[in-house]
Amino acid sequence: MKLVAKNTTIDLSQPKIMGVLNVTPDSFSGDGVVDTEAAVAYAGRMIDEGAAIIDVGGESSRPGAAPVSEAEELSRVVPVIKRLARIPKLVISIDTYKPAVAEAALKAGAHIVNDITGLSDRRMAELVAKTGAGVVIMHMKGTPQTMQTHPQYDDVVAEVIGFLEKRVEVAKQAGVGEDHIMLDPGIGFGKTLEHNLVLLRELPKLINAFTEPFLIGVSRKSMIGMVTGREAPVDRVYGTVALTALAVRDGARIVRVHDVAANRDAVAMAQALYGQK
C-alpha cells in the first residue's frame, strides 16, 4: 500500500507517524507556536522522534474556533513550509480547507493537502489533481464553529462511509488518482463521545469499505479526557497511545499525533504483535 504525493511515494506497508505542527496561538492541545524558528525547531524534534510526515496548520479547528483570514494563514504556514522543505526525504502536509492556502503551500514544498472539510470546495480537488499532490479527505459534520452543537446520526458508521464514498468520487472526477487519496473518519469533528467510540470500535468495517488507506487522528482529543478524566490535553498522552496501538492493529496506515516518541513506540509494538492488515 502506498500514497503518492507529488514527486514522492510514501510506502505504507508499515504505518507512518504524522507529527502535528500547529502554527497558531490558539491550538486546543496547547502546543501551538507562531514563531517560524520555534516551529521549525519543534518539527525537527518530532522528526528525530520518528515522524515521517509533518502536518502544518495555520488555523485552529478546535470546536468553536474562529476562522482566520487567508492572508493570516498564509503568513503563518508558508515560511515554515519553505524551511521544512529543505530537509531531505521529509514529507510535508498542509492542514487547510482553503484552495489558495493549499496552492501556496504546495508551491513552497508541501506534498499533501489535509482537508478537514473533505473537498467541500471542488477547487481543492482540481488543485490536487493539477499538482499531483496527495490528499487526506476527512469527514466533518458542520463547521468547527457548529460541529459540536448536538451532532446526530441515525448510523454514524454508515453515514461516514457514505460521505467518504461521495467525496472520493468527487476527487476522482476531478482527476485525482486513487493512489493519491487517504481517508480520515474525523474523530471529534461533529461527533459525540459515543459516536467517536463507535467509529473506533468499527474501524475495520470502515477500512474494509475502501481500497484507499486510512489516517486516524485522536491525539489529545476531548473524548480521551471524557473517558479518563484528564482535563488538560497535555495529560492525554497515555489515552492517545492506547488508541494509536488499537488503530494500527485494526489497519490504520498513518496516525496523526502530537507526542511522536510515545506513539512511535505504540505503533512499533502493535506492528510486532499484529503485523500488516
Contacts of 52 (CB under 8 A, 6+ apart): 10, 16, 17, 18, 90, 91
Alpha-carbon distances, residue 113 vs 93, 175, 239, 241 (angstroms): 6, 15, 27, 25
Element (H, E) at 221: none
Question: Cα torsion for 39, 65, 192, 94, to the nearest 10°?
Answer: -40
Tell me the residue type at 52: A
CA–CA distance, 124 with 49 (Å, rounded to integer):
32
Q: Are 73 and 50 in contact (CB under 8 A)?
A: no
Residue pair 52/267 in contact by the 8 Å Cβ criterion: no
By annotation, the residues acting in catalysis are: 221, 256
Tally of residues, the chain: 277
In sequence order, what are the residues at sequence separation of 6 or more whose Cβ sits closer than 8 angstroms to the Cβ of residue 253?
A: 1, 3, 12, 15, 16, 182, 213, 214, 215
For the chain, how long is the longest CA-to-CA vector?
Answer: 47
